[in-house]
Structure 1
Amino acid sequence: MDKFRRHPFLWVPTLYLAMGIPFNVIMSGTAANMYKSMGYSNSEITIALGSIGLAWSAKPFWAAFLDMYRTKKFFVLLMELVLAALFVGVAMSIPGSGFFQVSLALLWVAAFASSTQDICADGVYLTSLDKPAQAKFAGVQGMCWVSGKVLATGGFIYAMTRLQPVFGWSEQQMWQGVMCSCGAAMLLLFAWHYWYLPTGSVTERPKNFAAVFEDFGHTAVTFFHKRAFWGMMAFVCLYRLGEGLILMEGQLFLRSATAEGGLGLSAGQVSQIDAMFGTGASICGGLLGGWFAGKMGLSRALWIMGLCLNVPHFTYVALSHVAAGGGGASYAFIASMVSIEKFGYGFGMVGNMIYMMQQLAPGRRTMTHYAFATALMNLMLVPTNMISGPLAELLGFSTFFIVVMVASVPSVWAAFKAPFPLKAEEEKISSGESGNANEVITVDDPTRLSAGELLVQKIAGRASMFAILNVLCLLVLDAMFLGRLHGANIAANSGRILYGVIIGCALLKAWLSWKAVSTARAAIAEADARGEKAYRGNARGAIVATLVCGALSVAVLYFGAKMLP
């Protein structure tokens, strides 16, 4: 009986369904649709919700601490209960006068609970199944996570909009029903997992906080020791640039009134398009993209996949021009255009994930380095999500979607120029060489480098670390404080305080820039003296990244000053 209860078919599908629901409630349309129905502007919505993406980007920073206490199953169950309570809390806050602020606070907490659930759920999956079983259920993972999106952004909303006229609900009551449905789903999943989810194991439980910090520090340092590091970072940061602008604003455009240049669809219509047509197209695109990458080889297929990710954004250009003409668009035409865009998204995103798995992640800490890569990728969506609403309001939808197409050019360029430092044969190792069949010994491993290469690798890695910290300050701190300034309705004193914080961030970035450039120059000098070329490029990349951050920091100071009340 116990063996039956632990069969993967009884818990893998529901586990990834439980991961998909909260993420998509917060980041992929449910919350945005709710706020739009309550009369909030696109700018307010994207600034507020876009910043919440930080919770998933910060996962690597507390993941190791979860192994210090109890089990992975314990945290999965706890987070599912917390999420159920938080979604019900959002529903209860809807009629209140401070709904926007209260619900956002609850969604922030829900985002951290969801990301914690993700960490431990992945841990249960990886430690409860062997490699063949993991490969067998890989497709089930993705399908069930997408099913969570279908329920969160489509099924629950569509069901409540159908019940709304039957029971005479107001718009507020309808959205209370949606959020309570999300909470009920998480509660049911908690009950199921209480009986059927395996415990998961901890390979080596950390002894104390110092051990966690030491291990995390070593893992983080080695992440910067990969050759062609900045070429790979350019790909990670730029590949989803255009898609990041359209991710949240696309749905808000469908909901916006025709007088504002939108298509004026109802929440039920948007949820139906997203759940029935968009999700199906995305799944088909993902399956075809995986086959295409395997057939052609990623190095030859990646730029084509970049085109497929970005070119379909023209569908929103077409829809926005139809809307601007005032003639309206048929439901079938809108559904077709959205489906084309979602198909391209599914096809192109496969290339992004495979590239990070095959080129950026491999090493002695493959899983953690993959987590770092995905965190940086998700972090790039924070400023693009936040800026999309204000930019659309400033330019109008027709011009905004043309800007999205222009922003897609660097994405395709990054895919075309993406480096492939690891050859196929270098990703395969013998257990005799590493002593651990789960480790990957790459060309960047200390055991394969000379003393001179190790020295240059270490110095260039330190320069890259300072440069990345500079990038993080720009993406996290500057984006958040600029968003607060744009939020208006703030007193003059509060605005000056926020701008003072932005100036403080600029001073911090100036110090990081000095450290990055001086360290990079030392690495270049050492590389030239020793004739080393593999890691010299990393030092030069750190300088280029620092200069770009400097230019963007000046822009942040300028626009921040313009926003002062």
Structure 2
Amino acid sequence: MNKLKSTSPWAWVPTLYFAQGIPYVVVMTVSVIMYKRLGVSNTDIALYTSWLYLPWVIKPLWSPVVDLLKTKRWWIIIMQLLIGAGLAGVALTIPVPNFFKFTLAFLWLLAFSSATHDIAADGFYMLGLNEHKQAYFIGIRSTFYRISMITGQGLLIILAGFIESSSGLEPVDFTVTTQSHKTEWLVPTDIDYGSAQNGEMSFVIDTDQVALGTNNINKTRADEIKAWAKAHNLNNGFVQQEATLAKDDSWWARQVADPLKKTLKEKFGKADKVVNQADAQGNIAVIGIRLSTSPGEGETVVLNMDRNKGAKDLSLIEGQRLTFTADNWNKNAQVLIQVDPKQQGVVSTSFRGLSGNIPLAWSVTFFVLAGLFVTFLIYHRFILPKPAGDRPVSQGSSMFKEFGQTFVSFFKKDNIGMAMLFILVFRLGESQLVKLASPFLLDAKEIGGLGLTTGDVGLIYGTIGILFLTLGGILGGWVASRQGLKYWIFWMTLAINLPNLTYVYLSFYMPESMWLIASSVAVEQFGYGFGFTAFMLYLIYFSQGKSKTAHYAICTGFMALGMMIPGMVSGWLQEIIGYQNFFIWVMICTIPSFVVIKFLKIDPTFGIKKAEE
């Protein structure tokens, strides 16, 4: 019996695309959080991890090799082996002294292997399924790809955090409660607490119950407290001075970038501050934390502070990450909590600090990932079908000629101009929204955000978000398989763009209700899952032909470019015009997608189930 007919797509499509998404999210997101936990500066993190995106942008350059040499099935198995090796390499080099450059080297291996795996997996999908099943499973594959994104940003981080907290000292817990009476928090003097206490090492906190008056304080006084705490923590080595990039004095900056920034600020700039009065800053509490005994020579104890639960009107503004050594263990590191200047009632918030063996936590996490890919490798080695069309396109001396002809044939396709324009602008709004959605949810109210905790955002995206994303993706694939891409492309374009209005609503009304915020995210995620089906189906449709694997890879390379360039400037733009105007701009950027779909040439029968013998 033909193995293609005997192997259900349900047995390999979900696992293949889950495996495709994991290394991408590890390289692009998990690595950023890992390096931050390991104390790498923001400048180095941003610079070096941004370069890791390059393999996905330029993968069309070697996609013909995957088409011309070996089978897609062979490439999938080999790349999963290399991905597992890269993950294990990262795990092994995290504890070494020069971990940054060694782990980056293995992440480059991971990035190139993952990009090549994408080429082979997408080509195999088109070879292993007929046209109708490609349309039917497009929502399934997109959903499991997005599930892998959420797994990487959620479960992997939770695992690392759990190991970190389990391997460290007892957590630091304190509660801040607002009181109606007035208080003036005195800035403490620097105190050396001298010799170590008896017993095991632990954190010592000034007080675990803080009463903070709701009276607003003078801006000068608030700035004085903040400046003192920041200088104290910096001078005593509790925090590290992050490197800053030198001011760009190039011709481009003088003649284009700086004047454009000034014009945008003047025309559209808006301070995203809830309170804009110079003498109306929220009261500030100062809490001191130190160690009971000295760490060993060369040993560091890192404490990561965050809101645990309770009201969002109390914000942690200093002391998010504190490093204790043998040189500063007997001095207080200073933590600052500030109340929202609008809050006049009694509210309470608990804060928690976790320490632990951070290199161990991340090494274990990456070893788990390496083991996962060994499992994928073994499973796919036996379960992937062997389609008759999965064979090398060319062998021998004609390979290089075929290589060049692959690119030429792509750009000679009918309607190539409109197709490229569609790929670049269909997600123009989404490419910018996706970069700022989470920062908007996490940022404090004072700067226009919703003030959610990391746990809140993880809960929203990891439960409600994933449920509605899955429903949208499955529904999109189902309806496309019944009436075809051409019929649904307008409605799917509407679905992926219109729900972005929820962020316009959230930025203007800034609701407190978690259910309302979660519902807004659910609407946006459902629309994304449903609408993204049209995008992926069109890439498959446009790639049809002799070199479909290479042509699809070229399409996804342009897709990556269309996401990368707008995403690069989105943060810069948001800082100038504020969240409210930024989300309005996102809606404006959705207009080109509605225009360009009118000029696409699509076979009305593509995706619809046809009668089979």
TM normalised by structure 2 equals: 0.57
Instruction: Determine which of 513, 517, 523 is the counterpart of 1:340.
Output: 523
Seen in structure 2, the aligned counterparts of structure 1 residues 166 and 347 have a Cα distance that, compared at 3 Å, is same
CA spacing shift, 1:80–1:232, aligned 2, 3 Å: closer
The offset of 1:352, in angstroms, is: 1.7
CA contact (8 A) 1:72 1:120 kept: yes
**Structure 2 partner of 1:87:** 87
- Give the match for residue 411 of structure 2: 224
Partner in structure 1 of residue 440 of structure 2: 253
Would you say 1:392 and 2:574 are equivalent positions?
A: yes
Tell whether the 8 Å contact from 1:89 to 1:106 is kept in structure 2 after alignment. Answer: yes
Residues 154 and 275 of structure 1 are in contact (CA less than 8 Å); yes or no, is this contact kept in structure 2?
Answer: yes
| Deviation per residue, 1:427-466 (Å, 9 max, x gap) | 99xxxxxxxx9xxxxxxxxxxxxxxxxxxxxxxxxxxxxx
1:350 alignment counterpart: 533
Question: What is the CA–CA distance in structure 1 between the aligned matches of 2:95 and 2:507, rounded to whole Å?
Answer: 33
Q: Is the Cα contact below 8 Å between 1:34 and 1:175 reproduced in 2?
A: yes
Aligned AA for 2:107? L
- Mapped to 2, the partners of 1:99 and 1:322 lie a distance apart of 45
Within a 5 Å distance, the mapping from 1:152-231 to structure 2 comes to: 152-162=152-162, 164-168=164-168, 169-170=355-356, 172=358, 174-194=361-381, 196-197=383-384, 203-204=391-392, 206-208=394-396, 211-231=398-418
Shift in Å at residue 80 of structure 1? 2.3
Q: Is the 8 A contact 1:73 1:120 kept in 2?
A: yes
The 5 A counterparts of 1:304-323 are 304-321=491-508
Shift in CA distance, 145/167, structure 1 to aligned 2, threshold 3 Å: same
Distance 1:10 1:223, change over 3 A: closer
SS of structure 2 residue aligned to 1:58:
helix
> Which of residues 540, 555, 559 in structure 2 aligns to 1:377?
559
Displacement of 1:361 after TM fit?
Answer: 3.1
Per-residue deviation, 1:246: 1.9
**Do the aligned residues in 2 keep the contact of 1:315 with 1:337 (CA within 8 Å)?**
yes
Counterpart in the other structure of 1:15: 16
Map 1:45-56 → 2, pairs under 5 A: 49=49, 52-56=52-56
Kept after mapping to 2: 8 A contact 1:232/1:419: no
CA contact (8 A) 1:256 1:263 kept: yes
Match of 2:151?
Answer: 151
Answer whether contact 1:281 1:343 (CA < 8 A) is retained. Answer: yes
Query: Superposed, which structure 2 residues align to 1:38-77 within 5 Å?
Result: 49=49, 52-66=52-66, 72-77=72-77
Q: Is the contact made by 2:428 and 2:589 (CA closer than 8 Å) also made in structure 1?
A: yes
1:496-535 equivalent positions in 2, closer than 5 A: none
| Residue matched to 1:407 | 589
What is the match of residue 118 of structure 2?
Answer: 118
Instruction: Give the CA deviation at 1:243.
Output: 0.7
Deviation at 1:381, TM superposition (A): 1.0
CA distance in 1, matches of 2:101, 2:575: 22
- The alpha-carbon deviation at position 125 of structure 1 amounts to 5.2
Query: Greater strand share, 1 or 2?
Result: 2
Closer, same or farther: CA 396–420 of 1 in aligned 2, 3 Å: closer
> Matched residues in 2 for 1:115 and 1:22: separation?
9
Structure 2 CA distance, aligned partners of 1:290 and 1:11?
A: 17
Deviation of 1:56 after TM superposition, in Å, equals 2.4
User: 1:285, CA displacement in angstroms?
Assistant: 1.6
1:244 maps to amino acid: S
CA distance in 2 between partners of 1:178 and 1:269 (Å): 22
Q: Structure 2: where are the runs of 5+ without partners?
A: 169-354
Name the CA shift for 1:79/1:44 in 2 (closer, same or farther; >3 Å).
Answer: same
> Is the 8 Å Cα contact of residues 136 and 481 (structure 2) preserved in structure 1?
no
Q: Distance in 1 between matches of 2:162 and 2:380?
A: 30
- Structure-1 separation of matches of 2:36 and 2:453: 10
Deviation of 1:284 after TM superposition, in Å, equals 1.5
Structure-2 change in CA distance of 1:303 and 1:37 (3 Å): farther
Distance 1:406 1:152 in 2: 31
* Higher share in helix: 1
Partner Cα separation in structure 2 for residue 394 and residue 37 of structure 1: 29
How far 1:165 sits from its partner (Å)? 3.9
The one of the two structures with greater contact order (alpha-carbon pairs below 8 A, sep at least 6) is 2
Give the stretch that moved more between structures: 61-70 or 349-358.
61-70
Cα drift, residue 72 of structure 1: 4.5
Partner secondary structure for residue 153 of structure 2: helix
Cα deviation code 1:319-373 (max 9, x no counterpart): 34456xxxx7444333222222111211221122233334x33455445433332
Contact 1:158 1:268 in 2 (8 A): no
Would the alpha carbon gap of residues 30 and 260 (structure 1) be closer, same or farther in structure 2, given more than 3 Å must change? farther
Cα distance change, pair 423–166 in 1 and its aligned pair in 2 (3 A)? closer
Secondary structure in structure 1 of the residue aligned to 2:589: helix
Measure how far apart 1:267 and its partner are: 4.2
**Secondary structure in structure 2 of the residue aligned to 1:206:** coil
Q: 1:229 to 1:256 in 2, by over 3 A?
A: same
Deviation at 1:234, TM superposition (A): 1.9
Distance 2:15 2:406 in 1: 32
Distance in 2 between residues matched to 1:364 and 1:67, nearest whole Å: 10
Shift of 1:158: 3.2
Asked whether 1:281 is paired with 2:468, we answer yes
The answer to whether the Cα contact below 8 Å between 1:35 and 1:45 also exists between their aligned partners in 2 is yes
Residue 380 of structure 1: CA displacement?
A: 1.0
Aligned mates of 2:123, 2:543 — CA distance in 1? 17
SS at match of 1:348: helix
Q: Deviations over 1:256-284 (max 9, x none)?
A: 45555444544444333222222221221
Per-residue CA deviations over 1:60-115 (Å, capped at 9, x if unaligned) read: 32233246666555543332233233334445666778766665554333221112
- Going from structure 1 to structure 2, the CA distance change for 1:329 and 1:132 (only over 3 Å counts) comes to closer
Residues 143 and 96 from structure 1, CA distance in 2 versus in 1: closer, same or farther, beyond 3 angstroms?
A: same
Helix, strand or coil at the partner of 1:59: helix
Aligned to 2:268: none
Unmatched 5+ stretches in structure 1: 429-436, 438-565
